[in-house]
Chains A and B, each alone.
Chain A
């Protein structure tokens, strides 16, 4: 059984019978750890490229979905059906002047986009893309994900503060207030899942969802925890900062919220982070509630192909969640910030606690396992 992507790379190299010779060379030199580092770097490179491509695709998809809802075409000129539009956007953004406002705090202003972007990448580490397609199966995976997600509001606050702009500051304050009030129901809904699995490891959580009840219904947690799923979904849309909860931007009120003063590549970094986050959070929703990469047909797939098929399953599910988020964005208006906080503290936290109680009952009643 291949546990993670590192072992998968070794396995693939072994298939071509080149791992042993390479390892021998490094062993002769007495620097095996260099080979390990190289393989890890390759993993990171693959992840990075994957995230960048995903983000590019997502910006295109977002526009197309919006266009579909609004009976328009969306981008059509650059490339087949506008597929190269993200490339053009990137080129344009690189070519833009990088403006730092005169009264901004230069260091923090420059640092903030990176502090936003790096957590958005780090979240991917314990995310199981498919069987054995995981960078590292952390034993505290879920805790790690929630902890890392909590870094981005700090960076948003930094960006808003450093811009020295009233709109930015208000956007940043809103973002922080929102994040604090939504991380709690998010974590509570996730804890209910941990009660079932008894493990924080994302791989364990996915494995617990393989198999079916009565041979028909897949053992996904959405069926055991419908309330938890709804809460988690709402909280994660708030986490992603998308309409109806996009207070950090709320462009009709605060111009562009915390990135009002940003331009060029720094702006692009926020954009990248936003879409990377969208994918990551959707991936987490899939992992926790929609069975991750498992699917009832998977046991009948030849073992060689399982990583590939499971990756496909994971992507389809994730994109379904992403599509839902985009669809939601085109349908509903934005709620007001105090209404959002009311919803978070007065409705979602109590409901999440209730959900936790229900999960406890279900476990005592022995419904699961």
Chain B
């Protein structure tokens, strides 16, 4: 019998491509012969916008990169600016930054695991995940009034100090979350069908993963112990006790387990941060480079100038975002706007490994492997 190859365009409008990604699949029956991701449906020119906006104006745009976890984006850009201008940050502000970033990591992994399970046909996990995510979002809302796009972390500190009652609610969340993660593991991790779908699917060796530039949980699922919080500690991570979660199986299941473990580690970090939070209520630095400041920053209230000019120069600064290494390259020519902003986004680099991962597998495996890559299209297309 003679069979033809079938070309399937999966996306850009498809239930499980998480937004507007398109896969061009060359199929032999159900077997994938070739998979080409087609990108660019959500391209908004964020990098170009970086050249058009002042440093302070660009911070809200970083929220829209990886909109599931916006705090790390904020922070990655602000960290680059701080390194560029040599701004010092008060300790309490760093603590608050770590709190929101770790909370955001939990939120990100909840959404990631939830949508993975939904793609596999089990819709319960995403609802459970969103239930807990809601609590975290309420914490964010208390902090800065926004639930997803925060514009909260500023050069030299954070916009506002934590409000009253925040810590109590955070403690409640931490306590609740511990039990919930156990629930998730009972529901999913030992599920026979889930294991059938995930084990030995989307395998990528450590060597390949490094060569493709994969980072974050997807890389650590391939047995490479590379966590920027450990490898190149920033903020207060040097003083915190945590471990990088690594699994050696290299498959989808390993990447899933890494995410679950990371949520637990994040809880562990958060508990330490809550315990050792400095009392001094200073959350922003007064030192702001060269631009003249109008108005005086007080000790308690925060003050950020609309315009400030860092010295000319260039900087590349990177952090461990929930999805992987998020880097900002900023070239400054000593004016109020950056000369060039380049974003190294984790989703984009991780996505490039998909064609290799799914070769010879079936469409349902593509869904499973893609779900564990954890891609947000706003981050891919920028």
Residues of A within 8 A of B (CB): 66, 69-72, 166-167, 170, 243-244, 246, 250-255, 330-339
Contacts and interface: CB of A to CB of B under 8 A. Distances in A.
Given A332-B193, A336-B362, 10 more contacts: A70-B124, A166-B8, A253-B16, A253-B364, A330-B124, A334-B122, A334-B197, A336-B365, A338-B30, A338-B362
B123 A70 contact: yes
B122 A333 contact: yes
**Which 5 pairs between the two chains have the least Cβ-Cβ distance?**
A334-B121, A70-B127, A333-B120, A252-B16, A333-B122
A240 to B, nearest CB: 15
A252 B30 contact: no
B127 A252 contact: no
Contacts of A71: 127-128, 131
Contact of B122 (A170, A331, A336, A339): A331
Contacts of B15: 251-252, 255
B260 interface: no
**In terms of DSSP, what is the predominant structure of the interface of chain B?**
helix
Contacts of A70: 123-124, 127-128
Contact of B193 (A167, A255, A335): A335
Nearest to B187: A331
Contacts of B168: none
Contacts of B120: 252, 333-334
Contact of A333 (B14, B16, B117, B131): B117
18 contacts: A166-B8, A170-B30, A250-B121, A252-B119, A255-B14, A330-B124, A331-B122, A331-B124, A332-B122, A333-B117, A333-B193, A333-B197, A334-B121, A334-B193, A336-B364, A337-B364, A338-B30, A339-B197
B49 interface: no
B: contact size bracket: 20 to 34
A335 B196 contact: yes
Contacts of A337: 30, 362, 364
B196 A336 contact: yes
A255 B364 CA distance: 12
A333 B191 contact: yes
Nearest to B371: A252
B148 to A, nearest CB: 21
B363 interface: yes
A72 B30 contact: no
Contacts of B8: 166-167
A339 B196 contact: yes
A331 B187 CA distance: 7
A338 B367 CA distance: 15
B194 interface: yes
Nearest to A66: B123
Nearest to B117: A333
B6 interface: yes
A243 B118 CA distance: 12
Contacts of B191: 332-333
Contacts of B131: 71
A72 B127 contact: yes
Given A70-B128, A331-B187, A250 B123 contact: no
Contacts of A66: 123
Contact of A244 (B16, B117, B121, B365): B121
Contacts of A166: 6, 8
A333 B121 contact: yes
A244 B131 CA distance: 24
A346 to B, nearest CB: 14
A151 B117 CA distance: 33
A170 to B, nearest CB: 7
A99 to B, nearest CB: 16
Interface in B319-368: 362-365, 367
Given A71-B131, A244-B121, A336 B14 contact: no
Interface in B108-125: 117-124
Contacts of A170: 30, 363
